[in-house]
Amino acid sequence: MTLYASAPSNIALVKYWGKRNTQHNLPLTSSFSVTLETMRTWVAISPLSDGPDRWALYGNPKKAMRVLTEARAFTHNSQPLAISVHNDFPSGAGLASSASSMAALAFALDIALNDGNTPLSEVARWARLGSGSAVRSLYPGFVLWEAGQDPEGRDCIAQSRFHASQLPLDLIACVVDDRTKPIGSTEAMERCRDTSPSYAQFHARNADDLRRALHALQTQNLEALGQVSEENCLAMHAVMHQAQPPIDYFQDGTHAAIATVRALRQQGLPCFFTIDAGPNVKVLCPPAYTPALRKALEHTAGVTRLLFDRVSDSAARQEPTWPAHLPAHPPSNTISPQQTALLSSTTSFPPTGAA
Ligand code: DP6
């Protein structure tokens, strides 16, 4: 029996950019995000009669192996599996594909190995060990992921704080460059921790930014939410710009898209931007303004295409079928866990473009 599951990407408005514990992958400060709807990672899993596992994985093999190892340890189930993990949007370009892929994988493994009986907080732990931000893709709407204080992360939990309907928002992703980024978030965070003079300052503002974001949601104040989101995002990128050597994900198209958003706002169109570890700019606005924004953003120099999504209550879920446009499951390639563990943390397997 093959099972299918999917999880959406999520975009942080108050960012996670640093860890208090790398072994358990615990964040230094809490973060606040929106869960999307259509930018999803799909996972198919079927049992094999014997090992090794078979994988088709767009993403980071080391992270995926960590999730699988934790799931097997918790469920005491070592059933060999054929696993396909496919994004239906660009991987590794700051569109939070590691969040959706690790969330979808953890969610699907619970069904495959434990009939879906694992508490969501434990599934979230498996996802977190793959990628911290993945925890948030397991929850709907506007999500708070609390850093907690427990050394092993028992109080590092996420929860949905508002339904998507609290403040309906569309998201327009301005794709400036959809190639895999030169430096991944995990390594970039470490460099910032070790070398950036504004790293501590960024974390010092976290509590106030969270308070402002939650209050903006409570009062359905888009302008206030936009203001804190943009400030927090630019503060995170300032930390990176001051690292040694500096990390600068911005490209010309990134700056141009930011300028377009600011100009549109001056003209009275409610919208704001946020940018993660990549050059692509995510613009959020009330749905009624999407057509007008679309026109302006698609004519922005350096923006190669737009992707559309919305804040949604459809978090990780089981799916009845597998999308026809994705590569067939089960995969024909065979790779053992040992081989997988040897692959570098930046390698995609199979390489992008291969089925
Ligand atoms: C800029 O979750 O990818 O998107 O836990 O090391 O895998 P690891 O990091 P990851 O970092 C996401 C960073 C961010 C901000 C955010 O999503 O909060």
Dump the DSSP string for 47-63.
Answer: E-SSSS-EEEESS-HHH
Ligand 1 in reach of 25 Cβ (< 6 A): yes
The span from the CA of 338 to the CA of 355, in Å, is 22
Fold of 3-342: Ribosomal Protein S5; domain 2 (3.30.230)
Ligand 1 in reach of 16 Cβ (< 6 A): yes
The span from the CA of 30 to the CA of 214, in Å, is 12
* Ligand 1 atom 8, closest CA: 131
HSE, side-chain direction, 13 A CA sphere, residue 166: 22
The span from the CA of 237 to the CA of 13, in Å, is 13
CA of 309 to the centre of ligand 1 (A): 20
CA of 48 to the centre of ligand 1 (A): 33
CA of 185 to the centre of ligand 1 (A): 6
DSSP string covering 139-194 = S-SEEEE-----TT-TT--EEEEE-GGGS--EEEEEES--SPPSS-HHHHHHHHHH
Give the number of the atom of ligand 1 that is nearest the alpha carbon of residue 189. 6
The span from the CA of 332 to the CA of 314, in Å, is 31
What tens-digit pLDDT sequence spans the chain (355 residues)?
A: 899 999 999 999 999 999 999 999 999 999 999 999 999 999 999 999 988 888 888 778 889 999 999 999 999 999 999 999 998 876 655 677 889 999 999 999 999 999 999 999 999 999 999 999 999 999 999 999 999 999 999 999 999 999 999 999 999 999 999 887 789 899 999 999 999 999 999 999 999 999 999 999 999 999 999 999 999 999 999 999 999 999 999 999 999 999 999 999 999 999 999 999 999 999 999 999 999 999 999 999 999 999 999 999 999 999 999 999 998 898 766 555 445 544 433 333 333 332 2
The span from the CA of 84 to the CA of 82, in Å, is 7
CA of 348 to the centre of ligand 1 (A): 18
CA of 355 to the centre of ligand 1 (A): 27
For CA atoms 146, 110, 62, 104, the dihedral sign is negative
Ligand 1 in reach of 185 Cβ (< 6 A): yes
From residue 304, alpha-carbon distances to 179, 261, 310 in Å are 12, 16, 20
Omega before 52 within 30 of 0, i.e. cis? yes
* Ligand 1 atom 1, closest CA: 276
Ligand 1 in reach of 15 Cβ (< 6 A): yes
Give the number of the atom of ligand 1 that is nearest the alpha carbon of residue 99. 2
Hey, what are 20's tokens? 């208090």
Hey, what are 242's tokens? 């001051």
Burial of 306 (0-12, 13-18, 19+ CB in 10 A): middle
| Domain layout of the chain by residue ranges | 3-342
Ligand 1 in reach of 209 Cβ (< 6 A): no
Q: Return the best residue to mutate from 185, 233, 273, 282 for the ligand 1 pocket (most ligand atoms within 8 A of CB).
A: 185
